Structure 1
Amino acid sequence: MVFVSITRLRIRSIRFLPSFAIHTFGANAQVRRADGFIAGSLLPDRKRTFWTMTLWQDQAAMRRFMTSGAHLRAMPKLMQWCDEASIVHWEQSGTNLPDWQDADQRMRTEGRPSKLLNPSLNHGDLSYLAPRTSRAAPLVRA
């Protein structure tokens, strides 16, 4: 079984995008080198919304990544930058990435919103627009 992690972040203002981009670049470099990382995908959606999908050997590997380096430095800033943020995890057999429609469905039914300082009206119940999946890009090991 592999561990799947999906995140969805919507940046609440264009003024936060430059800092978000810098931190995202560092976290993406970190994940590609992380022990236990198998594969992933990034999805820039509409209206300053960004999705990540990562597959891990196990939950412990994902947690080691999440609590270290560039990712750890970026996480506290998301409370200020985002007006919507959510996460969902599950285990699956096989190392094929799920499709984005499945990720969206699981986010809506099994996901949880993150704590934010300025949440949108849609944040708590995850009632966002379906993602536009045509711009997804692979995230591969370095």
Structure 2
Amino acid sequence: MPTLPWTVPNPPPPATEVHVFASRFETRTLWGALKFLVRTPGVWRQLRGARGAYGASLRAEPLRRTFWTLSAWESPQALKDFARSGTHAPTAHGLAAQMRDAKFASWPASSDDLPVSWAEVRRRLR
């Protein structure tokens, strides 16, 4: 699973400010990377029905034990509601011990600029 393509659960209105969120996770072991991969489909299904989700993608580098996420939301609250509910909440909690490092970034953007490039994501997570 190298990259899950940009998926749009709810098309955003044109020329609207959105909340972009990016993350980079590095697992301690390859076993941790495998656990991350196994749990990804459940979170992805939750995302597809998430209120306020305007788009998301995942880039996986399992042999490097690194995973990148990119998502766009109606608001920071919509992102919080997603993260604290459904499959995501227990998955994040269950994987916490597997993580060696995690970085997060968020910023406002125009819906017209979605999806944000992976180069921009990497720049913001440096």
C-alpha displacement of 1:74: 1.3
SS in structure 1 at match of 2:116: coil
Residue in structure 1 matched with residue 60 of structure 2 by the alignment:
44
Residue in structure 1 matched with residue 39 of structure 2 by the alignment:
23
Residue in structure 1 matched with residue 11 of structure 2 by the alignment:
none
SS in structure 1 at match of 2:100: strand
Residue in structure 2 matched with residue 115 of structure 1 by the alignment:
none
The percentage of aligned residue pairs carrying the same residue is 29
Write out per-residue CA displacement over residues 8-63 of structure 1, whole angstroms, 9 at most, x where no aligned residue. 11121122234322321111110111011111111113501111100111111111
Write out per-residue CA displacement over residues 72-111 of structure 1, whole angstroms, 9 at most, x where no aligned residue. 0011233311111111111112241111111111112xxx
Residue in structure 1 matched with residue 119 of structure 2 by the alignment:
101
TM-score, normalised with respect to structure 2: 0.78
Count of residue correspondences: 108
SS in structure 2 at match of 1:69: coil
Q: How does 1:65-104 map to 2 (within 5 A)?
A: 65-95=82-112, 96-104=114-122
Segment of structure 1 superposing worse, 59-68 or 75-84: 75-84
Structure 1 spans left out of the alignment, 5+ residues: 109-142
CA distance in 2, matches of 1:105, 1:16: 25
Residue identity opposite 1:88 in structure 2: A
Query: Which fold has the larger relative contact order, with Cα–Cα distance below 8 Å and residues 6 or more apart in sequence?
Result: 2
**CA RMSD of superposed structures (Å):** 1.4
More strand by share: 2
CA distance in 1, matches of 2:21, 2:33: 23
TM-score, normalised with respect to structure 1: 0.70
Residue in structure 2 matched with residue 33 of structure 1 by the alignment:
49
